[in-house]
Structure 1
Amino acid sequence: MTAAGLRRGLVAALPFILSNGLAGLVMGLTYKGLGLGALQAILFSLLLYSATAQAIILSMWASPLPIVAMVIACIATNSRYLLMGAHLRQLFDGLANRKMLPSLFLLADASWLMTSSDAERNGPDAGYFLGASIPMAVGWIGGTALAYVAPLTANGSLKLAAALLPTMFIATLVPSQWKGTKSLWPWLTSGIIALVVARFVDPSWSMLIGGGCGTLVSMMAKTDG
């Protein structure tokens, strides 16, 4: 865990302050519309810290709250982080648990992807993972908090912003994941599918489905090669 890696990760992930901030703002406005207080919403985004899981919970919101179903949905949705965490633990096998476990609290899909890519280029550095994770968390939690002081409501132009979030997410990842023209088709597939799902199905599923389709195209390309 080096200071140079920390700085490199921070710089690489700076765009996520904007993209995650806008996503957190939309999420915070949704919480606000449901009647949650500012502290409740901020703790929600801080402790759960999963856009996909939080979106699924919101889709299940009812009175009375189906707590058991929500917990099961969260566990199922976030189970992928077990594999990501196991991969990082193997990648940083020499790092003490007292440093590794707090860093894993900030684990996100994007920080895992960026860290894996950086490890291939520069060697494993847990500092890079921590540096890449901080702007993402600041944007997400800060955006949620901003919703309670901004004079906005969850309608109108913000619906368009929610639909564009998948594209912003993909755009912030491109610089760290670009590996030449072979990267073009998976990214285009992810972006187009995400926009279609956001427009005609539900924005909360767009990143998951778009990313899955892009991954499938990437796997098929590697198989053909």
Structure 2
Amino acid sequence: MSESVRRGFVANLPVAASVGAYGSVLGVLAAQKGLGWLALALMNISVFAGSAQFVMVEMWGTPLPIVEMTMAVMVINLRYMLIGASLRPLFAGKSLGHKVARMHLVADENWAVTMAEYRRCGTDTGFLLGGGLCVVTAWSAGTLIGHRLGAFVTHPEAFALDFAFVAVFTALAASLFEGRRDILPWLVAAATAIATECVFPGKWYIITGGMAGALVAMLSQPEREVAHAS
């Protein structure tokens, strides 16, 4: 294991605890839906996207709505287009195989930790990979343990496990906040997401909020660069 991968793994350990906690909620729900332990393990490896997996488990039934499930997962995971674009400086000059292998292990958590590290002192794709290995390990352990406990924990919210998802993303968002120049994009993203959620069913607010905030940040980039230079 390279030093960069090791540093990425260690840097993501604090968020990994929360990832495991809300992963256990998914495991409980999966057990209650009748989803098998092996099927859940395969889902963790092949999909590895927390919010998408929650939707898949929620839609799980007989007969399995494969088309609807696939479309829902695609909509939710469209945000990875924005995440991938933000990682462009790290992947510059890398091969397609290199990019694919690392992007599969990109989650919101290790992406946020990597971006914070990149802004602070610079980093590389090894750091991103190490974080992904840390997060997928915690996520898989949490979901599979939760699945085993599913018969006993019928109401995970009673143990505040459902709040772990909110808590970790609040902490990650705070770590990425760079001051006044971030206020407008964040407000626009939040307002757009809220408006979309009120008008359109499903998870479209994730995409519209992210794209609106990214667009405002891009249009204000010259001003942001001047402010950063000063």
Native 8 Å contact 2:52 2:77 kept in 1: yes
CA distance in 2, matches of 1:124, 1:55: 31
Matched to 1:125, the amino acid is D
1:63-142 → structure 2 map (5 Å cutoff): 63-142=62-141
* Residues 1:182 and 1:93: Cα distance change in structure 2 (over 3 Å): closer
Matched to 1:162, the amino acid is D
Native 8 Å contact 1:92 1:124 kept in 2: no
Report the TM-score, using the length of structure 2 for normalisation: 0.71
Native 8 Å contact 2:33 2:57 kept in 1: no
Shift of 1:13: 0.7
Shift of 1:181: 8.0
Stretches of structure 1 lacking an aligned partner (at least 5 in a row)? 198-203
Matched to 1:91, the amino acid is L
Native 8 Å contact 2:30 2:147 kept in 1: no
Native 8 Å contact 1:115 1:129 kept in 2: yes
* Residues 1:92 and 1:124: Cα distance change in structure 2 (over 3 Å): farther
Matched to 2:161, the amino acid is A
Moved more, 74-83 or 163-172: 163-172
The aligned counterpart of 2:167 is 167
The aligned counterpart of 2:24 is 25
Shift of 1:159: 6.4
Stretches of structure 2 lacking an aligned partner (at least 5 in a row)? 225-230
CA distance in 2, matches of 1:19, 1:108: 13
* Secondary structure of 1:161 counterpart: coil
The aligned counterpart of 1:201 is none
Q: How many residues align?
A: 208
Shift of 1:97: 3.3
The aligned counterpart of 1:145 is 144
Shift of 1:6: 2.2
* Residues 1:171 and 1:154: Cα distance change in structure 2 (over 3 Å): farther
The aligned counterpart of 2:227 is none
The aligned counterpart of 2:228 is none
CA distance in 2, matches of 1:135, 1:173: 19
The aligned counterpart of 1:154 is 154
Native 8 Å contact 1:110 1:173 kept in 2: no
Shift of 1:136: 1.2
RMSD over aligned CA atoms reads 3.8
Deviations 1:174-198 (A, max 9, x none): 44x25468779969x98xx99xx9x
* Residues 1:79 and 1:55: Cα distance change in structure 2 (over 3 Å): same
Moved more, 67-76 or 92-101: 92-101
CA distance in 1, matches of 2:155, 2:42: 23
Deviations 1:2-46 (A, max 9, x none): 934323322221112211101111101111111122111111122
